[in-house]
Amino acid sequence: MTQQVTQGHVCIDDLSITFDVRGGSMVALEPTSLELAPGSFTALIGPSGCGKSTLMNAVAGFVPATTGRITIDGTPINGPSDKVGVIFQQYALFPWFTALDNVRFGLKRLKLSKSEEIDRARAAIAEVGLEKHAQKYPQELSGGMKQRVAIARTFAFGPQVMLMDEPFGALDAQTRLVMHDLLLGIWEKHKATVLFVTHDVDEALILTDDIQLMSSGPGRIIKHYPLTEPRPRKLNRDNIHLLETRDEIIALLHPSH
Protein backbone atom coordinates (compact mmCIF):
# COMPACT_ATOMS: atom_id res chain seq x y z
CA MET A 1 0.00 0.00 0.00
CA THR A 2 2.65 2.52 0.99
CA GLN A 3 5.10 3.20 -1.76
CA GLN A 4 8.75 3.32 -0.80
CA VAL A 5 9.91 6.86 -0.14
CA THR A 6 13.40 7.37 -1.48
CA GLN A 7 13.85 11.13 -1.20
CA GLY A 8 14.27 13.34 1.83
CA HIS A 9 17.15 11.58 3.49
CA VAL A 10 18.57 13.99 6.09
CA CYS A 11 22.05 13.40 7.53
CA ILE A 12 23.28 15.59 10.34
CA ASP A 13 26.92 14.85 10.95
CA ASP A 14 28.75 16.16 14.03
CA LEU A 15 26.92 19.45 13.70
CA SER A 16 27.73 22.09 16.29
CA ILE A 17 26.57 25.67 16.36
CA THR A 18 28.15 28.56 18.20
CA PHE A 19 26.75 32.06 18.20
CA ASP A 20 28.83 35.19 18.61
CA VAL A 21 27.47 37.16 21.50
CA ARG A 22 28.73 40.33 23.10
CA GLY A 23 32.10 39.61 24.67
CA GLY A 24 32.51 36.05 23.41
CA SER A 25 30.60 33.15 22.03
CA MET A 26 27.77 30.90 23.14
CA VAL A 27 27.44 27.22 22.31
CA ALA A 28 23.87 26.64 21.15
CA LEU A 29 24.40 23.07 20.02
CA GLU A 30 27.10 20.59 21.03
CA PRO A 31 28.35 18.26 18.26
CA THR A 32 25.25 16.30 17.28
CA SER A 33 24.63 13.56 14.74
CA LEU A 34 21.18 12.54 13.60
CA GLU A 35 19.85 10.69 10.59
CA LEU A 36 16.27 11.05 9.37
CA ALA A 37 15.10 8.23 7.10
CA PRO A 38 13.14 9.23 3.98
CA GLY A 39 9.48 9.68 4.87
CA SER A 40 10.03 9.40 8.63
CA PHE A 41 8.38 11.59 11.24
CA THR A 42 10.72 12.66 14.04
CA ALA A 43 10.05 14.80 17.08
CA LEU A 44 12.77 16.90 18.62
CA ILE A 45 11.78 17.49 22.19
CA GLY A 46 13.51 19.24 25.04
CA PRO A 47 13.39 22.16 27.46
CA SER A 48 13.50 25.69 26.09
CA GLY A 49 17.00 26.81 25.25
CA CYS A 50 18.22 23.27 24.53
CA GLY A 51 19.06 24.12 20.93
CA LYS A 52 16.21 22.25 19.25
CA SER A 53 15.13 25.28 17.26
CA THR A 54 18.77 26.02 16.43
CA LEU A 55 19.19 22.52 15.06
CA MET A 56 16.04 22.95 12.98
CA ASN A 57 17.14 26.37 11.73
CA ALA A 58 20.43 24.82 10.62
CA VAL A 59 18.61 22.17 8.58
CA ALA A 60 16.47 24.97 7.13
CA GLY A 61 19.66 26.75 6.09
CA PHE A 62 18.89 29.83 8.20
CA VAL A 63 21.83 29.30 10.55
CA PRO A 64 25.28 28.18 9.32
CA ALA A 65 27.02 25.17 10.86
CA THR A 66 30.01 26.06 13.02
CA THR A 67 31.45 22.57 12.66
CA GLY A 68 30.16 19.42 11.00
CA ARG A 69 27.69 19.30 8.13
CA ILE A 70 24.16 18.60 7.04
CA THR A 71 23.24 16.86 3.80
CA ILE A 72 19.88 16.13 2.24
CA ASP A 73 19.98 13.28 -0.29
CA GLY A 74 23.73 13.80 -0.39
CA THR A 75 23.60 17.53 -1.13
CA PRO A 76 25.18 19.75 1.53
CA ILE A 77 22.98 22.43 3.08
CA ASN A 78 24.49 25.92 2.72
CA GLY A 79 21.28 27.92 2.77
CA PRO A 80 17.55 27.38 2.18
CA SER A 81 17.10 24.32 -0.03
CA ASP A 82 14.49 23.53 -2.68
CA LYS A 83 13.81 20.26 -0.90
CA VAL A 84 12.94 21.79 2.45
CA GLY A 85 9.71 23.42 3.63
CA VAL A 86 9.39 25.23 6.94
CA ILE A 87 6.35 25.79 9.17
CA PHE A 88 6.77 28.44 11.84
CA GLN A 89 5.05 28.74 15.19
CA GLN A 90 3.97 32.29 14.32
CA TYR A 91 2.64 31.14 10.91
CA ALA A 92 4.71 33.73 8.99
CA LEU A 93 1.86 34.38 6.57
CA PHE A 94 2.10 37.64 4.65
CA PRO A 95 -0.77 39.87 5.82
CA TRP A 96 -0.86 41.75 2.49
CA PHE A 97 -1.73 38.56 0.61
CA THR A 98 -4.97 36.57 0.77
CA ALA A 99 -4.79 32.95 1.87
CA LEU A 100 -4.74 31.91 -1.79
CA ASP A 101 -2.02 34.40 -2.71
CA ASN A 102 0.09 33.23 0.23
CA VAL A 103 -0.04 29.71 -1.22
CA ARG A 104 0.67 31.03 -4.72
CA PHE A 105 3.73 32.84 -3.37
CA GLY A 106 5.18 29.46 -2.37
CA LEU A 107 4.50 28.08 -5.87
CA LYS A 108 6.44 30.80 -7.71
CA ARG A 109 9.60 28.67 -7.73
CA LEU A 110 7.82 26.06 -9.85
CA LYS A 111 7.31 28.63 -12.63
CA LEU A 112 3.84 27.36 -13.54
CA SER A 113 1.44 29.15 -15.84
CA LYS A 114 -0.91 31.48 -13.99
CA SER A 115 -3.91 29.15 -14.28
CA GLU A 116 -1.91 26.10 -13.22
CA GLU A 117 -0.56 28.04 -10.27
CA ILE A 118 -4.04 29.12 -9.17
CA ASP A 119 -5.45 25.60 -9.62
CA ARG A 120 -2.68 24.09 -7.58
CA ALA A 121 -2.99 26.72 -4.85
CA ARG A 122 -6.77 26.16 -4.71
CA ALA A 123 -6.23 22.41 -4.41
CA ALA A 124 -3.77 22.94 -1.54
CA ILE A 125 -6.20 25.27 0.24
CA ALA A 126 -8.98 22.70 -0.23
CA GLU A 127 -6.74 19.98 1.18
CA VAL A 128 -6.58 21.83 4.50
CA GLY A 129 -10.35 22.45 4.38
CA LEU A 130 -10.31 26.19 3.74
CA GLU A 131 -11.83 26.46 0.26
CA LYS A 132 -14.42 28.93 1.60
CA HIS A 133 -11.71 31.16 3.04
CA ALA A 134 -9.30 31.31 0.10
CA GLN A 135 -9.94 35.01 -0.52
CA LYS A 136 -9.61 36.05 3.10
CA TYR A 137 -6.61 37.81 4.54
CA PRO A 138 -4.67 36.09 7.35
CA GLN A 139 -5.85 38.62 9.94
CA GLU A 140 -9.44 37.54 9.21
CA LEU A 141 -8.61 33.92 10.10
CA SER A 142 -8.28 32.16 13.47
CA GLY A 143 -4.91 30.84 14.67
CA GLY A 144 -5.74 27.29 13.58
CA MET A 145 -6.86 28.48 10.15
CA LYS A 146 -3.70 30.55 9.72
CA GLN A 147 -1.57 27.51 10.44
CA ARG A 148 -3.63 25.51 7.92
CA VAL A 149 -2.84 28.11 5.28
CA ALA A 150 0.84 27.91 6.22
CA ILE A 151 0.74 24.11 5.95
CA ALA A 152 -0.96 24.37 2.54
CA ARG A 153 1.61 26.96 1.41
CA THR A 154 4.52 24.73 2.38
CA PHE A 155 3.20 21.35 1.23
CA ALA A 156 1.93 22.80 -2.07
CA PHE A 157 5.38 23.08 -3.66
CA GLY A 158 6.18 19.47 -2.77
CA PRO A 159 9.09 19.58 -0.32
CA GLN A 160 10.82 16.30 0.51
CA VAL A 161 11.68 17.52 3.99
CA MET A 162 9.31 19.39 6.26
CA LEU A 163 10.56 21.30 9.28
CA MET A 164 8.01 22.34 11.85
CA ASP A 165 9.03 24.61 14.72
CA GLU A 166 6.41 24.20 17.47
CA PRO A 167 3.74 24.68 14.82
CA PHE A 168 0.79 24.24 17.19
CA GLY A 169 2.38 25.90 20.21
CA ALA A 170 0.17 28.98 19.95
CA LEU A 171 -3.09 27.06 19.51
CA ASP A 172 -5.61 25.94 22.13
CA ALA A 173 -5.80 22.25 23.08
CA GLN A 174 -8.96 21.52 21.08
CA THR A 175 -7.64 23.11 17.87
CA ARG A 176 -4.36 21.30 18.38
CA LEU A 177 -6.09 17.90 18.30
CA VAL A 178 -7.80 18.80 15.02
CA MET A 179 -4.49 19.97 13.59
CA HIS A 180 -2.81 16.69 14.57
CA ASP A 181 -5.32 14.70 12.49
CA LEU A 182 -4.99 17.14 9.61
CA LEU A 183 -1.19 17.01 9.67
CA LEU A 184 -1.09 13.20 9.80
CA GLY A 185 -3.51 13.01 6.88
CA ILE A 186 -1.42 15.36 4.77
CA TRP A 187 1.85 13.71 5.77
CA GLU A 188 0.56 10.25 4.87
CA LYS A 189 -0.44 11.58 1.48
CA HIS A 190 2.73 13.55 0.68
CA LYS A 191 5.20 11.31 2.56
CA ALA A 192 7.73 13.98 3.34
CA THR A 193 10.40 13.52 5.99
CA VAL A 194 9.21 15.56 8.96
CA LEU A 195 11.30 17.08 11.73
CA PHE A 196 8.91 18.38 14.35
CA VAL A 197 10.17 20.58 17.18
CA THR A 198 7.93 20.65 20.23
CA HIS A 199 8.00 20.73 23.98
CA ASP A 200 4.66 18.93 24.26
CA VAL A 201 5.44 15.27 25.07
CA ASP A 202 1.90 14.04 24.30
CA GLU A 203 1.96 15.66 20.88
CA ALA A 204 5.25 13.92 20.07
CA LEU A 205 3.90 10.55 21.25
CA ILE A 206 0.73 10.79 19.17
CA LEU A 207 2.36 11.97 15.97
CA THR A 208 5.84 10.63 15.44
CA ASP A 209 7.95 7.58 14.56
CA ASP A 210 10.91 8.70 16.62
CA ILE A 211 11.38 11.00 19.56
CA GLN A 212 14.80 12.54 19.97
CA LEU A 213 15.14 13.96 23.46
CA MET A 214 17.47 16.91 23.98
CA SER A 215 18.97 18.37 27.13
CA SER A 216 20.00 21.93 27.68
CA GLY A 217 23.28 23.37 28.86
CA PRO A 218 24.94 22.26 26.61
CA GLY A 219 22.37 21.43 23.93
CA ARG A 220 22.66 17.85 22.71
CA ILE A 221 20.55 14.77 22.01
CA ILE A 222 20.49 12.50 25.05
CA LYS A 223 18.00 9.80 24.17
CA HIS A 224 16.13 8.23 21.25
CA TYR A 225 12.69 6.60 21.58
CA PRO A 226 11.44 4.72 18.50
CA LEU A 227 7.64 4.47 18.40
CA THR A 228 6.05 1.65 16.41
CA GLU A 229 2.40 1.89 17.53
CA PRO A 230 0.01 2.23 14.59
CA ARG A 231 -1.71 5.58 14.08
CA PRO A 232 -4.10 7.07 14.99
CA ARG A 233 -2.86 6.72 18.54
CA LYS A 234 -4.49 7.45 21.84
CA LEU A 235 -2.68 7.91 25.11
CA ASN A 236 -4.62 5.37 27.16
CA ARG A 237 -4.27 1.93 28.78
CA ASP A 238 -4.25 0.19 25.39
CA ASN A 239 -0.89 1.81 24.72
CA ILE A 240 1.04 1.06 27.88
CA HIS A 241 4.35 1.51 26.07
CA LEU A 242 3.45 5.07 25.11
CA LEU A 243 2.44 5.89 28.68
CA GLU A 244 5.68 4.46 30.04
CA THR A 245 7.69 6.40 27.47
CA ARG A 246 5.80 9.52 28.44
CA ASP A 247 6.61 9.05 32.14
CA GLU A 248 10.25 8.47 31.35
CA ILE A 249 10.54 11.55 29.12
CA ILE A 250 8.77 13.76 31.66
CA ALA A 251 11.08 12.46 34.41
CA LEU A 252 14.11 13.32 32.25
CA LEU A 253 12.74 16.76 31.35
CA HIS A 254 11.86 17.61 34.95
CA PRO A 255 14.33 15.67 37.15
CA SER A 256 12.88 17.18 40.35
CA HIS A 257 9.39 15.65 39.88
Partner 1 sequence: MAQSPHFLWRVARQSGAVVSILFVLLIWTLFSALNIVPQAILPSPASVWSATVEMARNGTLALDLRASLSRAVIGFAIGTSLGVLVGLLTGRLVLMQVLLAPALTLLRPIPAIALVPLAIVWFGIGEGSKYFVISYTVFLTVWFNTHHGMQYVPDIYLRASRSLGVSRVREFLTVIIPAAAPYILAGIRLGVALAFLSLVAAELSGASSGIGYRLQEARQYIRTDRMFSLLIILGILGAVTDVIVQRIGQRLVHWQQG
Residues binding partner 1 (CB under 8 A): 60-62, 79-80, 82, 84-86, 88, 90, 92, 94-97, 105-106, 108-109, 137-139, 153-154, 157
Min separation Cβ 171 and partner 1, Å: 17
Min separation Cβ 18 and partner 1, Å: 20
Comparing CB distances to partner 1, the nearer of 148 and 220 is 148
Comparing CB distances to partner 1, the nearer of 48 and 236 is 48
Min separation Cβ 158 and partner 1, Å: 11
Comparing CB distances to partner 1, the nearer of 124 and 213 is 124
Is the CB of residue 213 less than 8 Å from the CB of residue 197?
no
Min separation Cβ 97 and partner 1, Å: 8
Comparing CB distances to partner 1, the nearer of 84 and 194 is 84
